[in-house]
Structure 1
Amino acid sequence: MTLIREPEWLMSHLSEACLRVVDCQYDLSNGDKGRERYEMEHIPSAVFADIGTDLSADIREHGGRHPIPSKEMFVRFMQQAGIAQDTIIIAYDGGEGAFAARFLWLSQLYGYEHVYVLNGGLRAWKELGYPLSSDIPDYKRTDYWPEENNDILADYEEVKALSMGHGEGLLIDSREEARFKGLYEPIDTKCGHIPNARNMEWMGNLDDGHYLARVELASRFKSLVTDTPLIVYCGSGITACVNYIALKQAGYKEVKVYAGSFSDWISYDENPVKID
């Protein structure tokens, strides 16, 4: 089963009533930029999901820089978008991959089953000359309330145990190698990584915004035992979701996301960080 759809597939199904397209364009340096881009142009019929307000909760003492929204908050958004039990959902971003991946993982976490990311995002769509729109759709609200799937969410205690060498599984740090090694840190207040984590950069799963083929992803992760429980994290729980998708595409069954990620880990003063 794939978590990815190609632009050609979306174009051929765009007019179907059971389909909902979700625009996740975002700019981490400018929280308003994503909505501005959406309002200027988006795939026809797409609704907008804001990473900062729809796909994240308010920052607290713990939970990281992009805490996940509550189930109630997320389901309200999905209901307003007219999403029901059988709706096929295609999420895209500008072509970076991470923002659409965050939406997919959150959707699966809260029980939505038919969710995919658009391979290559809006950039790939535009390169094929497919239509764009500035119209803002208004869908009939649904009352669908799914059953959540906590099997893909790693809690703090699980991460703590693995950092100490206890328990079964492997921590995967999705950030770039220099941040993992603690050579520099542009965002968070501490450098380094969670002890016992292995570094596998999220960008290594993509080629110009497109996911590598299954066989290439399987080769990339060949050092990981297929049935090993895996927990992926990044700085704040966004780019780790690209590793989540890539690992699932490669055939790994037990993959969780540490939602608060490194920014949550360092919010506990007693937690050690390792610098290589």
Structure 2
Amino acid sequence: MNYTTFIQPKEAAENLNNPNFLFIDCSYSLADKNWGATEYEKAHIPGALYADLHDDLSGEIIAGKTSRHPLPQKEALVKLFSNWGIDKNVQVVAYDATAGFMAAARLWWLLRWAGHENVAVLNGGKGAWTAAGYPLTNAVRSLQQKDFVASFNDNLLASATEVLASIEAGNTCLIDSRTADRYAGQNETIDPVAGHIPTAVSKPFNAKIGAEGVAEPSVYKEHFKDEYAKGNVVFYCGSGVTAAYNVLLSVYAGYPIPKLYAGSWSEWITDAARPVVTGA
């Protein structure tokens, strides 16, 4: 069986010794970039590799031009996935320390962008895995390099130019995945400009997630119903990371995979000519 959105801890544990399953720990904290790697070194799912949001799942930051977490170059991603031992037969299971899935969803999206569909996020993260009594270890897995054959789908991406044009044309439903206060321009402590992109609606990435993980797909089908009824859905967030979680949820709900404005708010505001609004 292939898993393409979420996998439950029990299902993952049943495949712990499956040579075609690869677990990847994506735990990360924006407040402390070393935290995730330290947590991985302490204890992780047996056989799991570690993916660093900043070093592995993001590209080079160019001040005044890119987001805080720009997409990696395609060549770099192919090399990374090959080094990790991912080929067409490998089922990737990405997970975070908690049920937030922030960086795990980013890895899920990067692999889908690169054409690899057999990737799922562990529902509930390492917390749910541990609560279920499944094992952890501090042993480090040896790399087993394979040839990752990519087929990048750039139709999954929206550029700042496209977003601006869609605002003027009124033909796109733009969804802001940040928390509601940041969308409204309140309590902005991360980016130098507060507010959101005009016409965007607020759908915080963590609005429908509990400590145990995700609910049934029908919950998210309803959650995004009005937005998908408008068509041409594009998600964004602060730097293109948490928006990937909303993309994952929408696919889990049964909707077609939407576009991601990967540059997101932190790229949008690098050009003062791009419009900004505040308020709920």
TM-score, with structure 1 as normaliser: 0.96
Q: Residue by residue, what CA displacement relative to the aligned partner does 1:174-215 show, whole Å, maximum 9, x if unpaired?
A: 111111111221110111100111111111131115112111
In the other structure, the counterpart of 1:54 is 56
In the other structure, the counterpart of 2:143 is 139
CA contact (8 A) 1:23 1:42 kept: yes
Q: 251, 263, 272: which is aligned to 2:254?
A: 251
Greater Cα offset, 219-228 or 171-180:
219-228
5 Å-filtered alignment, 1:34-49, equals: 34-49=36-51
Q: Which amino acid aligns with 2:16?
A: L
Instruction: Count matched residues.
Output: 275
CA contact (8 A) 2:159 2:263 kept: no
Considering only aligned residues, what root-mean-square deviation do their CA atoms show, in Å? 1.4
Secondary structure of 2:175's counterpart equals strand
Q: Residue by residue, what CA displacement relative to the aligned partner does 1:92-123 show, whole Å, maximum 9, x if unpaired?
A: 01112111001100111112120100000001
5 Å-filtered alignment, 1:129-168, equals: 129-164=133-168, 166=169, 168=171
Query: Partners in 1 of 2:30 and 2:241 — Cα distance?
Result: 11
Query: Partners in 1 of 2:78 and 2:42 — Cα distance?
Result: 26
In the other structure, the counterpart of 1:32 is 34
Q: 91, 96, 99: which is aligned to 2:94?
A: 91
CA contact (8 A) 1:154 1:231 kept: yes
Query: Partners in 2 of 1:131 and 1:102 — Cα distance?
Result: 25
Secondary structure of 1:210's counterpart equals coil
Query: Partners in 2 of 1:2 and 1:137 — Cα distance?
Result: 24
Q: Which amino acid aligns with 2:72?
A: P
How many Å apart are 1:149 and its aligned residue? Answer: 1.4
Query: Partners in 1 of 2:16 and 2:56 — Cα distance?
Result: 24
Gaps of 5+ in 2: none
Query: Partners in 2 of 1:64 and 1:144 — Cα distance?
Result: 27
CA contact (8 A) 2:247 2:257 kept: no
Query: Partners in 1 of 2:56 and 2:164 — Cα distance?
Result: 28
TM-score, with structure 2 as normaliser: 0.94
Aligned sequence identity (%): 35
1:175 and 2:178 are equivalent in the alignment? yes
Query: Partners in 2 of 1:227 and 1:74 — Cα distance?
Result: 33
